[in-house]
Amino acid sequence: MQVTVSTDWLEKNHQDVIVLDASWYLPSENRDSFNEFKSRHIPNAQFFDIDVISDTNSPLPHMLPSPSSFNDHVENLGISNNLKIIIYDTEGLFSAARAWWMFKIMGHIEVFILDGGLPKWISENKPISDNHQKAKRGSFLSTFEPSSIVDVSQISETKAQIIDARHPKRFSGEAPEQRVNLRSGHIPNSVNIFYKLLLNEQKCLKTKLELLSIFLEAGIDLDKPIITSCGSGVTASIIILALKQLDHNQTALYDGSWSEWGLRDDLPIATN
Answer yes or no: do 91 and 167 share one domain.
no
Answer yes or no: do 161 and 57 share one domain.
no
Would residue 268 count as lying in a domain? no
Would residue 121 count as lying in a domain? yes
Answer yes or no: do 163 and 124 share one domain.
no
Residue-number span of the structural domain to which 97 is assigned: 4-144
- Taking alpha carbons only, the member of 267, 263, 256 closest to residue 58 is 256
- CB contact at 8 A, 185 and 167: no
For the segment 156-182, what is each residue's pLDDT rounded down to a tens digit? 899 999 999 999 999 999 998 888 889
- CB contact at 8 A, 77 and 45: no
Answer yes or no: do 198 and 235 share one domain.
yes
Q: Which of 230, 238, 243, 252 is catalytic?
A: 230
User: What does the alpha-carbon distance between residue 253 and residue 240 come to, in Å, rounded to a whole number?
Assistant: 8
Query: Is 204 known to be catalytic?
Result: no
- CB contact at 8 A, 88 and 118: yes
pTM: 0.97
Answer yes or no: do 130 and 23 share one domain.
yes
Tell how far CA 210 is from the center of its chain. Answer: 20
Last residue of a domain, one of 113, 144, 175: 144
User: What does the alpha-carbon distance between residue 224 and residue 242 come to, in Å, rounded to a whole number?
Assistant: 15
In tens digits, the chain (272 residues) has pLDDT values of 799 999 999 999 999 999 999 999 988 888 999 999 999 999 999 999 999 999 999 999 999 999 999 999 999 999 999 999 999 999 999 999 999 999 999 999 999 999 999 999 999 999 999 999 999 999 999 999 999 999 999 998 999 999 999 999 999 999 988 888 899 999 999 999 999 999 999 999 999 999 999 999 999 999 999 999 999 999 999 999 999 999 999 999 999 999 999 999 999 999 98
Answer yes or no: do 97 and 165 share one domain.
no
Backbone region of residue 260 per phi and psi (left: phi > 0; alpha: psi in -120 to 50; beta: other values): alpha
**Number of structural domains, the chain?**
2
